[in-house]
Structures are given as C-alpha cells and as structure tokens.
Structure 1
Amino acid sequence: MGHSLTIVTNVGSMLWPASIVNIMHTLGWTMTETIFTEGMVVIILNVILSGRWQLRRFTRELTFLIPYSILMQLFADAYRMVGIDQLNFWWRLGLDMIGLTIAFLGFLLYQTCDCCFHPHDDLTIILKRRVNAQFVQWFNVLLPVIIIAGCTLYNHHMYAIHVGTLFGLLLQSRITGFFDRHVSCHCNM
C-alpha cells in the first residue's frame, strides 16, 4: 500500500521502487510485469552469488514477489481511480509521507514475521556475507541511481524521485526504529 501510494503521488519514492517505476516507463510494461521481472532477475542473481540452488529460498522469495507485484499494481490503480495523482502538490506530499511511513512499517512487519523475503533482502544478506555491510549500503544506493539515470537519459524524464525520496533516505532508520520499539514487540508470530 505504501510504496504504491508514493509512486502514484510522484512526490518521491525510495530508490528501489523509483528505479522500478523508471524501468516501467522505459520498457512500457505494467508495474506488475516490471516488479515481477526485476524480482526474477534478482532471484537468479541470488542463486549465482550464493553458489547454489535452494528451493526453500526460491519459494520464500516467490511467496513475497508474486503478491507484491500484483498488489503494487492494484493499489496504484485504486489510488489513481480516486484521483490521488490529480491532487495539488501539498496533498500529494502529505500522502507521500504517509505512504513512506506505511512502507517502512510494512518492511519491519514482514521482516519480523520471517515468513517470506523480497529478493532484494536476500541479495543484501548474500552481499553482506560475500563483501561487507558498507559495500551493501553503497550498492543499495548506487545501483538504483544508475538505473534511474539510464532510464532518464532514455526517457528524458525522471519518475518517482522528489522531496519524498530525501525524506525517506533521511528518516527511514528513525521511523523503522520507532516501529521496531513500539509495534514489532507486539507481533508474536
């Protein structure tokens, strides 16, 4: 719900969802097709980097990826249907902040539940083991920025990068930390 809201407001998404939106516009695909295809590429990369095929890991990643790619599209369509993308900037900015906050809470909850993982999360774990945490931090910033820049050169337009992106980058750890202290402790899964 949260990432779809930030995409529809077009006032700033986090870097990976923003890169997906830019790829989507470059290829002319739906959001579902783009998210699923990009996720499958990351799953294959995870298999290559880990050096082995693990059915459990693959199943957990698909368990996340399939509904995520479909629900992102459905929520975005619903938000557009009610006209969120047509609101003035200040309303969209407020909704973008709400969307980012929902996305951060969602991230914390599915990490806490430990039942499925976004392929990027597994990629992060694999890279931390193979390289180090500092490399992963730079990787998770630079790769989506490179993707966005390449798509922008092709499209002559950048999507989903705005003030909300800066808000997300600066406050994600604080908001997630708040939810970790006050919400995840009540999750007994």
Structure 2
Amino acid sequence: MKELSGGGGGGGGCKERPYDIPLEQRYSYENGTRRLWVYADDKPHDPNSHTQPRTEIRIKGLDYSSGVWQFEGYGFVPNGTSGATIVQIHGASHSATTIMLRIIKGNMNYYCGPARGILATQMYDKWFKVNLIHDVDQGKVTVYIDGMLKVEAKDRGPGDLYFKCGVYAASTNISYYMESRWRDIKIYKK
C-alpha cells in the first residue's frame, strides 16, 4: 500500500466540534499527539444538526469511492470515557457510516456492543494501534487492533467515504466527559 498522508502537524485535517465553542477549547496538538474531547451537554457541530456532540478529525483531500484504503493510527482513551465513537469510516449507500469503533465502559466495540461484537477489552489508559482496511470493490471492512485481526465484515455499500477519528457521542449510555488522543495517523491506498 502507498502512504498518502502522515497526519503530521497540528492542522492536518478538518476538525468538527461544538459549533458555539472555539476549536482550542475542544482540541489540542502537542508533541505529536492530538487530544480531542467533548462534554455530553455540548452542542452539535452545526446549529441545524440534530446529532450528538463531537470533536473529530477528518483528513482533508482523501475521500474515496473505490479501491482499497487503510487508516492507521495509535489511539488512547482515558479511564471514564464511555459511549464514544473514536474512529469511523463515514459514508455508505445503506447507512451514514461503513463502520464505527466505540469505547463503552473500557471495551472497544464494533458499533454499539455485544450484538455486533466486543473487539478488545480493558482499553483505558494505554496506547493501542488501530488499522481499518476498506476494500470498497469487494465490499469488505477489516479491523486490526494491536496487529491482531478482530473483525472482517461486509461493508454497507459504496458511497462518498472518508476516515474520521476523535470523539463522537453515541445516542445512549455516554459519560459526561469523553476524550481520545491520536498520534502517528496514516492513510494508505492500494
């Protein structure tokens, strides 16, 4: 695979955040680490949106609709964050997203939890490597956590697709404060 973006620098992507709060009150970049946080009572990213609060990074200029693409990054979630999507592939023909990985009570979940699958446990307060591989032409998504295969699943159809990471509150069972940190973000294309 060919690396397309190293996610370097502090400004490497579009950052969604509560619309009424300055970026620096929900995002920081220091010593190669991006820190993103949100509160359960924050506003959505747009005054016309009815979605939950979020602070997320979307790498600009790397949208895709075919081929094989991979997100790679090291994530960290502090103890107490729950009900937060920390990485996703946005877009699909049959859904708003192709995949979401959520932290719920310290476990990494494929979407909302046990029905879809707990991928890893005891994820708080440690760095972990995430690889999301999307083969659009084959309709397949593969997830590795710390180099171990965790799930291969059918995607939700093609669309205007892109990777996002950060924190995006789920609709239920969320903690009041949610945070994730990311470093060494890379996007690859085959």
Q: Report which structure shows greater RCO (CA 8 Å, sep ≥6).
A: 1
Instruction: Give your verdict on TM over 0.5.
Output: no
Instruction: State TM-score, norm by structure 2.
Output: 0.30
Q: Which has the higher strand share?
A: 2
Q: Which has the higher helix share?
A: 1
